[in-house]
Amino acid sequence: MPGRLALLLLALVASLLTGCSKNNVQVISSVYGTGKNFADVSERVADLVQKGPGFNADPGWLKVDPSPGWNKALIIIYEVKGRRHVFTADEGERVSARILLEAARK
């Protein structure tokens, strides 16, 4: 778990401001992987959130597999109305602008 936390903090500090305006959701940064093997998928996630009704957190949609054969997690740092949020999806879970907005309300 320390590796995941370190990468999450790195992603937050990096602030790769990849704009995504759909439904006031702005993807700041995103990583996908497990253990010590994570890939930066910020641009891909921002594009998927902006363009469509949603996607699954899996190598097919994200076009990267940092840990073949292992279950992975997608960690998204995003803003809604100026407030920053963190969303985590296990491999195979659905992600969309609507889901991110609902998570931000909790």
Taking only the tens place, the pLDDT of each residue in 44-99 is 999 999 988 999 999 999 999 999 999 999 999 999 999 999 999 999 999 999 99
Distance of alpha carbon 49 from its chain centroid, rounded? Answer: 10
DSSP conformation letters of 41-95:
-HHHHHHHHHHSS-EESSHHHHT--SSTTS--EEEEEEEETTEEEEEEEETT-EE
- Long-range Cβ contact pairs of 69-72 (< 8 A, separation 24 or more): 70/34, 70/35, 70/37, 71/34, 72/32, 72/33, 72/34
Quote the tokens at residue 71: 């279950």
Residue 14 has pLDDT above 70, yes or no: no
Q: What is the mean pLDDT of residues 38-47?
A: 97
Q: How many domains does the chain have?
A: 1
Residue 75: other Cβ atoms inside 10 A = 22
Residue 18 pLDDT exceeds 80:
no
Domain that holds residue 62: 2-105
